[in-house]
């Protein structure tokens, strides 16, 4: 790896660094005018101001379902992993998938056990053009977030960066104990889980890819998946 | 003498304000935003407290900016990310060009970054011979139409479907339909292979997390995820004011950005990037660069009042509610950042003497301040800019006028005498309004002065005694 600020940078970068930091420090030596600085408010934590989610798991599931439906994601709740495998095999049939993309993960392997299709496993190394040819991707995740109807995954938990965004249909397999109430809980989980070794990428996925750039009219599948299916295994 | 920027502004605003159909179209587009946003705000347990809390996060970030920048850099360096500090636009451009050259790049794919508009990066890369493609749908449309973004969150909101179809017909091939669905799918097809072929991906950053050493990107389409996943090199451009202290702060700032930006509770993809591809990961870029841009942000930071404006999270809410933006449109401003926030920061990022007029593109109604998710005192900053612009002006007319006003107001006898003169003036002034002999023709051609009352309060009071 080339060292940072190497000879390829056109100027002596450290000179600019020191100059910018000196300007920042000099600027802040003068305190902010109290007429524009609101007095610091006592914060009771972010959960207290964000959309509320009641504490029981069944409440969480209700909120998650409501949000996911509003986002046009499809939520299926099979009771067991075997039932999930049947559901997924039926999906593959319904949508005429011909190539499947997955990553090595026990839950993904069990859930896709019923699908007899050529498959690409990203974490064994892959060619991007091959992944682009796949009809669907099945991944695990780190958590689901009831408050926003989101899926949290990382490069470590979901087979890299591209698997969950390049194929046109993304299927997430999760278990009910992965359902968190809100965003503060999800960020706390990220810190707890990866403090020692951060994956290079993490993302909160909230519904299928969308755009409103033409006349503010909603269109799904702008560049990422047109369809997002969440298989949530287990009873609350 | 009016600056060139002001002459262009005068012409553009007159043209746009006269285009009633376009104004109606923009208003209709924004009406949907108001409804959705209102419903989303109502979901919060305590929206006013959410604004207070978000404002405080950005204050803490700004008031300790030096320490947070150093921490941010240290964490990124420890994971092999290259960090370049760019004092100005030229330094940032040269750094990006040097990376492209060293990597032997040909095709660059970009996800939405206003910082790149600010430093005119596309022009520089194209002049140097690189093919550059914008991947955000709105940005792609305005790129193909050879125009700047109309709105820094909704770049193509001024264009109707038929216009977008003819832009696509000209540039990426004839289409059968002008349906938004069909147009979006055409853009999807056009870009799909570009992500895979591009040598370098360039993105912006919505937040830089000091504690973790990571950038956070908020988007809806997935184009930014693909831009940061497929090419061998990822370069992120970021203004130094985008720093926030903690990872946990995103739990509030990301929903606030989405709520005020588009009316969603959370946008489709909120991603974190901490490093290039790590050992054991199947994909991701070999190199990651973060360009930290000053470009006169420290000049604004040095002002103990105006530094407030550096807390902006670029949601665009102040544009959406601004009665002036709705009438003059985004292109009239002639700068990178439009609307009230643009009118506050652009004159100070550039030259208050040449761009001071932007601070007058406001009715000072305060709708911007009221809607800002981090409570920036926008309309008062516009007033502060006006004062600074008047001080900087070479033409002393306004200064003299205000001095004369002060002189008169301190002398009641003079004011009452002028009142008498004005009553006479009214009789001759009305027929002259806007004609060639009217000394105030420029101002009065479209405005009427209020009539001087027949009696002063003092006269009236005397008759009551």
Phi/psi at A206 (nearest 5 deg)? -125, 85
Most A CBs within 10 Å, among B52, B54, B139, B222, to test the A interface: B222
DSSP label of B272: E
Per-residue model confidence (pLDDT) at position B8 = 94
* A17-24 long-range contacts, CB within 8 A, separation 24+: A17/B85, A19/B87, A20/B85, A20/B87, A20/B240, A20/B292, A20/B294, A20/B298, A21/B66, A21/B69, A21/B70, A23/B294, A23/B298, A23/B301, A23/B302, A24/B65, A24/B66, A24/B69, A24/B240, A24/B298, A24/B301
Residue B405 lies in a domain: no
- Tell me if chain B has a CB within 8 Å of the CB of A64: no
Per-residue model confidence (pLDDT) at position A42 = 67
β-sheet with B131-134: strand ranges across: B82-86, B287-293, B233-239, B200-203, B107-110, B131-134
Half-sphere exposure at residue B275, Cβ-oriented, CA atoms within 13 angstroms? 21
A 141-170 near B (Cβ less than 8 A)? 147-148, 150, 155-156, 159-163, 165-166
Mark whether B274 and B342 lie in a shared domain: no
Per-residue model confidence (pLDDT) at position B283 = 97
What pLDDT digit, counting tens, does each position of A187-236 carry? Answer: 999 999 999 999 999 999 999 999 999 999 999 999 999 999 999 999 87
Residue pair B442/B433 in contact (Cβ under 8 Å)? The answer is: no
Q: Do A207 and B77 touch (CB under 8 A)?
A: no
What pLDDT digit, counting tens, does each position of B205-221 carry? Answer: 999 999 999 999 999 99
Which chain A residue shows the shortest CA-CA distance from B48? A49
Mark whether B179 and B283 lie in a shared domain: yes
Phi/psi at A232 (nearest 5 deg)? -105, 110
| Number of compact structural domains in chain B | 3
pLDDT band, residue A5 (cuts 50/70/90): very low
Residue A10 pLDDT greater than 70, yes or no:
no
Mark whether B382 and B456 lie in a shared domain: no
Pairing of strands B107-110, B131-134: parallel
Residue B52 lies in a domain: no
Residue B309 lies in a domain: no
Domain closes at, from B295, B328, B345? B295
Question: In this complex, which of A33, A41, A203 lies closest to B52 when CB atoms are compared?
Answer: A41
* Burial class of residue A91 in the structure, from the number of CB atoms within 10 Å of its CB (0-12 exposed, 13-18 middle, 19+ buried): buried
- Residue B217, strand partner residues: B271
Which chain B residue shows the shortest CA-CA distance from A206? B268
CA pair distance A50, A185, nearest whole angstrom? 12
Mark whether B96 and B232 lie in a shared domain: yes
Mark whether B258 and B117 lie in a shared domain: yes
Q: With left for phi above 0 and alpha for psi between -120 and 50, is residue B119 left, alpha or beta?
A: alpha
Q: Do B87 and A20 touch (CB under 8 A)?
A: yes
Element (H, E) at A204: strand A201-205
Residue B53 lies in a domain: no
Question: In this complex, which of A9, A28, A216 lies closest to B65 when CB atoms are compared?
Answer: A28
Does residue B81 sit in helix, strand or coil? Answer: coil
Pairing of strands B233-239, B287-293: parallel
Per-residue model confidence (pLDDT) at position B451 = 79
Q: Do A24 and B32 touch (CB under 8 A)?
A: no
CA pair distance B169, B163, nearest whole angstrom? 10
* Burial class of residue A113 in the structure, from the number of CB atoms within 10 Å of its CB (0-12 exposed, 13-18 middle, 19+ buried): middle
Q: Do A25 and B272 touch (CB under 8 A)?
A: no
DSSP label of B2: -
Residue A14 pLDDT greater than 70, yes or no:
no
Residue B75 lies in a domain: yes
What pLDDT digit, counting tens, does each position of A70-107 carry? Answer: 999 999 999 999 999 999 999 999 999 999 999 999 99
- Residue A201, strand partner residues: B273
User: What is the span of the domain harbouring residue B418?
Assistant: 412-464
Residues present in chain A in total:
236
pLDDT band, residue A6 (cuts 50/70/90): very low
Interface A-B: count of C-beta contacts within 8 A: 314
Residue A13 pLDDT greater than 70, yes or no:
no
| Structure token digits, residue B310 | 């550096």
Q: Do B308 and A32 touch (CB under 8 A)?
A: yes
Per-residue model confidence (pLDDT) at position B205 = 98
Q: Which of A211, A204, A185, A160 minimizes the C-alpha distance to B271? A: A204
- Tell me if chain A has a CB within 8 Å of the CB of B36: no
Q: How far is B415 from chain A (nearest CA, A)?
A: 33
Question: In this complex, which of A27, A122, A183 lies closest to B251 when CB atoms are compared?
Answer: A183
CA pair distance B415, B434, nearest whole angstrom? 26
Residue A8 pLDDT greater than 50, yes or no:
no
Per-residue pLDDT tens listing for chain B (465 residues): 688 999 999 999 999 989 999 999 999 989 889 999 999 999 999 999 999 999 999 999 999 999 999 999 999 999 999 999 999 999 999 999 999 999 999 999 999 999 999 999 999 999 999 999 999 999 999 999 999 999 999 999 999 999 999 999 999 989 999 999 999 999 999 999 999 999 999 999 999 999 999 999 999 999 999 999 999 999 999 999 999 999 999 999 999 999 999 999 999 999 999 999 999 999 999 999 999 999 999 999 999 999 999 999 999 999 999 999 999 999 999 999 999 999 999 999 999 989 999 999 999 999 999 999 999 999 999 999 999 988 887 778 888 888 999 999 999 999 988 888 888 878 777 777 878 888 778 778 878 877 788 888 888 898 887
Does residue A76 sit in helix, strand or coil? Answer: strand
Per-residue model confidence (pLDDT) at position B422 = 83
Residue B330 lies in a domain: yes
Class of domain A55-233: alpha beta
DSSP label of B179: -
The residues, ordered by sequence, that sit 6+ positions from B219 with a Cβ below 8 Å of its Cβ are: B111, B112, B136, B225, B267, B268, B269, B271
Mark whether B132 and B74 lie in a shared domain: yes
Mark whether B379 and B243 lie in a shared domain: no
Mark whether B253 and B362 lie in a shared domain: no
Mark whether B198 and B267 lie in a shared domain: yes
Q: How far is A86 from chain B (nearest CA, A)?
A: 29
Give the N- to C-terminal CA distance of chain B in Å, as an integer. 53
Question: In this complex, which of B80, B184, B281 lies closest to A211 when CB atoms are compared?
Answer: B184
- Tell me if chain A has a CB within 8 Å of the CB of B119: no
Q: Which residue has the tokens 């550039």?
A: B350
Residue B310 lies in a domain: no
What pLDDT digit, counting tens, does each position of A134-162 carry? Answer: 999 999 999 999 999 999 999 999 999 99
Q: Do A4 and B81 touch (CB under 8 A)?
A: yes
User: Could you give the dihedral angle defined by the CA atoms of residues B206, B208, B209 and B210, in that order, rounded to the nearest 10 degrees?
Assistant: -160
């Amino acid at each position: 790896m080339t060292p940072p600020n190497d000879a390829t940078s056109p100027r002596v970068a450290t000179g600019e660094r020191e100059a910018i930091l000196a300007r920042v420090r000099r600027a802040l030596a003068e305190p902010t005018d109290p007429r524009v600085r609101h007095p610091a408010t006592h914060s009771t934590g972010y959960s207290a101001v964000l959309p509320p989610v009641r504490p029981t798991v069944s409440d969480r599931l209700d909120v998650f379902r409501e949000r996911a439906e509003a986002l046009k994601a499809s939520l299926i709740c099979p009771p067991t992993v075997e039932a999930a495998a049947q559901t997924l095999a039926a999906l593959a049939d319904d949508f005429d998938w011909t190539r499947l993309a997955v990553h090595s993960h026990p839950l993904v392997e069990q859930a896709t056990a019923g699908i007899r299709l050529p498959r690409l496993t990203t974490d064994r190394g892959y060619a991007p053009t091959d992944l682009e040819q796949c009809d669907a991707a099945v991944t695990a995740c780190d958590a689901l977030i009831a408050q926003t109807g989101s899926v949290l995954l990382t490069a470590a938990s979901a087979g890299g960066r591209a698997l969950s965004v390049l194929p046109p249909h993304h299927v997430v397999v999760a278990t009910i104990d992965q359902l968190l109430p809100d965003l503060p809980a999800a960020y706390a989980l990220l810190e707890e889980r990866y403090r020692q070794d951060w994956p290079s990428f993490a993302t909160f996925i909230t519904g299928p890819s969308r755009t409103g750039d033409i006349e503010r009219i909603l269109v799904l599948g702008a560049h990422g998946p047109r369809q997002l299916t969440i298989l949530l295994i287990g009873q609350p | 003498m009016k600056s060139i920027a002001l002459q262009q502004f005068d012409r553009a605003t007159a043209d746009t304000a006269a285009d009633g159909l376009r104004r109606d179209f923009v208003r209709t587009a924004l009406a949907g935003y108001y409804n959705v946003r209102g419903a989303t705000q109502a979901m919060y347990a305590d929206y006013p407290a959410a604004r207070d809390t978000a404002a405080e996060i950005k204050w803490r970030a700004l008031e300790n900016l030096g320490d947070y920048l150093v921490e941010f850099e240290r964490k990124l360096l420890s994971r092999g990310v290259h960090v370049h500090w760019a004092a100005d636009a030229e330094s940032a451009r040269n750094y990006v060009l040097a990376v492209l050259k060293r990597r032997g790049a040909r095709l660059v794919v970009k996800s939405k970054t206003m910082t790149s508009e600010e430093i005119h990066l596309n022009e520089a890369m194209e002049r140097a011979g690189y093919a550059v493609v914008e991947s955000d749908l709105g940005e792609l449309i305005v790129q193909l139409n050879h125009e700047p973004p109309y709105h820094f969150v909704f770049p193509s909101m001024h264009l109707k479907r038929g216009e977008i179809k003819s832009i696509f017909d000209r540039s990426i091939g004839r289409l059968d339909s002008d349906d938004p669905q069909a147009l979006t799918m055409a853009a999807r097809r056009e870009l799909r292979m570009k992500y895979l072929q591009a040598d370098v991906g360039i993105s912006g950053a919505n937040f830089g997390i000091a504690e973790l050493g990571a950038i956070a990107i908020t988007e809806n389409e997935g184009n930014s995820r693909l831009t940061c996943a497929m090419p061998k090199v990822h370069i992120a451009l970021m203004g130094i004011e985008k720093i926030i202290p903690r990872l946990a702060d995103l739990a509030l700032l990301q929903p606030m950005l989405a709520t005020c930006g588009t009316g969603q509770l959370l946008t489709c993809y909120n991603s974190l990037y901490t490093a290039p591809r790590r050992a054991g990961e199947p994909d991701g870029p070999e190199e990651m660069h973060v360009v930290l841009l000053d470009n006169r942000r420290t000049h604004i930071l040095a002002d103990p009042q105006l530094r407030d404006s550096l807390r902006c999270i670029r949601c665009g809410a102040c544009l959406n509610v601004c009665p002036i933006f709705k009438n003059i449109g985004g292109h009239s401003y002639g700068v990178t950042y439009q609307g009230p926030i643009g009118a506050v920061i652009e004159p100070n990022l550039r030259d208050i003497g040449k761009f001071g007029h932007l601070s007058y593109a406001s009715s000072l109604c305060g709708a911007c301040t009221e809607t800002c998710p981090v409570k920036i005192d926008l309309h008062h900053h516009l007033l502060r800019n006006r004062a600074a612009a008047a001080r900087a002006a070479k033409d002393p007319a306004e200064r003299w006028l205000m001095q004369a006003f002060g002189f008169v107001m301190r002398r009641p006898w003079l004011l009452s005498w002028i009142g008498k003169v004005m009553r006479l003036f009214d009789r001759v002034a009305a027929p002259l309004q806007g004609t060639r002999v009217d000394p105030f023709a420029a101002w009065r051609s479209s405005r009427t002065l209020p009539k001087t009352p027949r009696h002063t309060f003092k006269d009236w009071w005397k008759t009551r005694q």
